[in-house]
Structure 1
Amino acid sequence: MADATTIVPLNPDEEKFLRALGTVMALLPRVVDADMLEELPISSTEYTVLVHLSEVPHHQMRMSELANVCGLSLSGMTRVVNRLESQSLVTRQKCPEDGRAWLALLTNPGWKMLEQAWPTNLASVRRHIFSRLEGCDVAAAAEVLQRIAAP
């Protein structure tokens, strides 16, 4: 940890960026959730889980890995998967290689929900994000966000 005498305060641009980033991080999930839940019985977080499961071999992932890629705690992921299981969109089973671990598996109804939800999610992120980036270098913005998110 830096000693208080070596800490450099944020300049006005850095402060403005940090505050705007914090606002986006708090606001964006709420507005996309509202759009999703207005039309479908799943939230944007649940949609994200279905997307990640759809993109991996055998459409299954360890719960811990799924939690990590979705930015959730393991207990948070368990709650999300419980909701998805109650709708038969995902099932859980013990990992054959490690009896202590659980796998989340995308079901056929889960695939159907993902296909149904995709247009709503796309319209929401276009409205709340990409419509406001006209004239911006989206690739450069993505690079900056990836650098921030890197461990």
Structure 2
Amino acid sequence: MPSTQSAPSAPPSAAAPPEPRWLDEEEMAAWRSFVIASNLLNRRLERQLKEDSGLSHTQYEILVHLSAAPAGSLRMTELAERLVTSKSGLTYQVTQLEKMGLVGRRSCPSDVRGVFAELTDPGREMLREAAPGHVALVRELLIDVLSREQLVVLADGLGQVSARLRLDDTP
């Protein structure tokens, strides 16, 4: 007697993966330009900060975020989110800044697991000294190279990319 069941289909995992959407020439040019420019820019900013102030770019950004925060302090988890870095990477950098006397840590009164990073007076002074040279180089290497229209497009485009990546990065 013939079976009324149809033959089993291949499991979904056995299906061939979809063909990749390769980049066309314009897309490839945009991607390569982004990668090269961001790597060169990061390398130059890192070198300038190290030479002028002894700070890494990440350490400088920590000082910037703390200086902009109310009372010059942020919870470590919030600071890690703002810097788009791991908690362990942030802990290492804050430890280095703490050794330099630029940042301190204190426990959170409402949560025993919470820790705040606080900008010290020497940290504020270091930021005041480091910022002019850093901003001048950012202006020289990026801001002043682009027209106002290009800056608007860059901010909009990279803002959309960042928003998409943040959505994809949520647990």
Common fold, TM-score beyond 0.5?
yes
Which shows bigger deviation, 109-118 or 6-15?
A: 6-15
Greater shift after overlay, 73-82 or 8-17? Answer: 8-17
| Alignment: residue pair count | 149
- Secondary structure class of the residue paired with 1:113: helix
Map 1:112-151 → 2, pairs under 5 A: 112-134=125-147, 136-150=149-163, 151=166
Pairwise CA distance, 1:4: 3.5
Distance in 2 (CA, whole Å) between partners of 1:34 and 1:106 is 23
Counterpart for residue 30 of structure 1: 43
Q: Structure 1: where are the runs of 5+ without partners? A: none
Please give the root-mean-square deviation of Cα atoms over the aligned residues, in Å: 1.6
In the TM superposition, what is the alpha-carbon distance from 1:10 to its structure 2 partner?
Answer: 1.5
Secondary structure, in 3 states, of the residue corresponding to 1:101? strand
How far apart in 1 are the matches of 2:21 and 2:53?
47
Q: How does 1:85-96 map to 2 (within 5 A)?
A: 85-96=98-109
Q: Percent identity?
A: 34
Larger radius of gyration: 2
Counterpart secondary structure, 2:127: helix
1:137 partner letter: Q
CA contact (8 A) 1:50 1:106 kept: yes
Shift, 1:136, TM fit? 4.4
Q: TM-score, normalised by structure 1?
A: 0.90
Deviations 1:68-122, CA, capped at 9 Å, x for gaps: 1112111111111011101111001111121112110011111111111110111
